[in-house]
Amino acid sequence: MKNCNEISTSHEHSPEKLTQNSQFLHAIIEEVYRCTPLNNFKKNFALVAKSAASHIAVTQELANNTQHSFRKTLSYVNTMIYHTERFSDDQKEAIGKWIHQEFIAFCLLGSWPSRSFSKPQNIAGDHHTIKQIYGGGIQDDRNTGHVVNLCFFNEPACKAVANRKQYMKNYILEKIEHLQQEKYHVTSIASGPAEEIFDVFDSMEKDAYSTLKVTGIDMDKRACASVDDRIQEKKLNAYFSTQAHNVLSLGKYTYLNNTQDLVYSMGLVDYFSDKLVIKILNNIYQMLKPHGEVIIGNFHTNCDSRLFLDYLLDWKLIYRTEQDMCRLFSLSKFGNSPVNIDFEEQGVNMLARCVKQPPTD
Ligand SMILES: C[S@@+](CC[C@H](N)C(=O)[O-])C[C@H]1O[C@@H](n2cnc3c(N)ncnc32)[C@H](O)[C@@H]1O
For residue 89, which amino acid is it?
Answer: D
Beta 349-355 vs 339-343: how paired, if at all? antiparallel
pLDDT at 5: 38
190 CB within 6 A, ligand 1? yes
124 pLDDT band (50/70/90 cuts)? confident
Average pLDDT in the 213-221 region? 97
DSSP letters, 4-17, are: GGGS--SGGGSHHH
Whether 101 and 142 have beta carbons less than 8 Å apart is answered as no
For 156-177, write each residue's pLDDT tens digit. Answer: 999 999 999 999 999 999 999 9
Q: Is 196 in the pocket of ligand 1 (CB under 6 A)?
A: no
Q: What is the mean pLDDT of residues 181-187?
A: 94
3-state helix, strand, coil in the chain (%, to 5): 55, 15, 30
Contacts of 234-237 with CB under 8 Å at 24 or more apart are 234/198, 234/201, 236/201, 236/209
- Does ligand 1 have an atom closer than 6 angstroms to the CB of 127? yes
Which ligand 1 atom minimizes the distance to the CA of 127?
27
Decide whether any atom of ligand 1 lies within 6 Å of the 216 Cβ. Answer: no
Q: How many CA within 13 A on the CB side of residue 123?
A: 15
Q: Ligand 1 centroid to 153 CA: how many Å? A: 19
pLDDT band at 7 (very low <50, low <70, confident <90, very high): very low
Q: How high is the pLDDT of residue 19? A: 77
* Cβ atoms of 213 and 186 closer than 8 Å: yes
What structural domains does the chain harbor?
20-122 (no CATH), 158-355 (3.40.50.150)
DSSP codes of every residue in 93-137: HHHHHHHHHHHHHHHTTSHHHHHHHH-TTSSTT-HHHHHHHHHTT
Model confidence over 227-255: pLDDT tens digits?
999 999 999 999 999 999 999 999 888 88
The pLDDT value recorded for residue 162 is 95
Q: Please state the separation of Cα 345 from the chain's center in Å.
A: 14
- The per-residue pLDDT for range 330-340, each reduced to its tens digit, is 999 999 999 99
Q: What's the mean pLDDT in 142-146? A: 84
Ligand 1 geometric centre to CA of 216 (Å): 10
Quote the CA–CA distance of 338 and 319 in Å, as a whole number. 21
pLDDT tens digits, 266-323 = 999 999 999 999 999 999 999 999 999 999 999 999 999 999 999 999 999 999 999 9
Residue 1 has pLDDT above 80, yes or no: no
d(CA 82, CA 79): 5
280, 285, 294, 332 from 251: Cα distances, Å: 9, 10, 16, 14
Supply the residue whose CA is at minimum distance from atom 13 of ligand 1: 190
Q: Is the CB of 160 under 6 A from ligand 1?
A: no
The rounded Cα 229 to chain-centroid distance in angstroms is 24
Q: Is the pLDDT of residue 10 over 60?
A: no
Distance (angstroms) between ligand 1 centre and the Cα of 249 equals 14
Kindly report each contact of residues 30-36 with a partner whose C-beta sits within 8 Å and lies 24 or more positions away, as own/partner.
32/73, 32/76, 32/77, 35/76, 36/69, 36/72, 36/73, 36/76, 36/77
Q: What is the mean pLDDT of residues 180-209?
A: 96
3 pLDDT above the threshold of 70 = no
pLDDT band at 357 (very low <50, low <70, confident <90, very high): very high
Q: Which of 4-18, 60-74, 198-212, 258-272 has the lowest mean pLDDT?
A: 4-18
Q: Tell me the percentage of the chain whose pLDDT exceeds 70.
A: 94
* Contact (CB, 8 A) for 113 and 132: no
Do residues 127 and 222 touch, judged by C-beta distance below 8 A? Answer: yes
From the CA of 119, how far away is ligand 1's center (Å)? 14
Nearest-angstrom CA–CA distance, 131 and 224: 13
- Provide, rounded to the nearest whole percent, the portion of the chain with pLDDT above 90: 83
Closest ligand 1 atom number to CA of residue 161: 8
Q: Helix or strand or coil: residue 343?
A: strand
How many C-beta atoms surround the C-beta of residue 252 within 10 A?
8
Residue 153 in this model has a pLDDT that exceeds 90: yes
**Predicted pLDDT at 139:** 55
Per-residue pLDDT band for 116 (boundaries 50, 70, 90) equals very high
pLDDT, averaged across the chain: 92
Atom of ligand 1 nearest to the CA of 246: 20
Q: Is the distance from the beta carbon of residue 247 to the nearest atom of ligand 1 less than 6 Å?
A: yes
- 92: Cα within 13 Å, side-chain hemisphere: 16
Query: Which one-letter amino acid corresponds to residue 134?
Result: Y
Please give the Cα distance from 23 to 16 (Å, whole number).
10
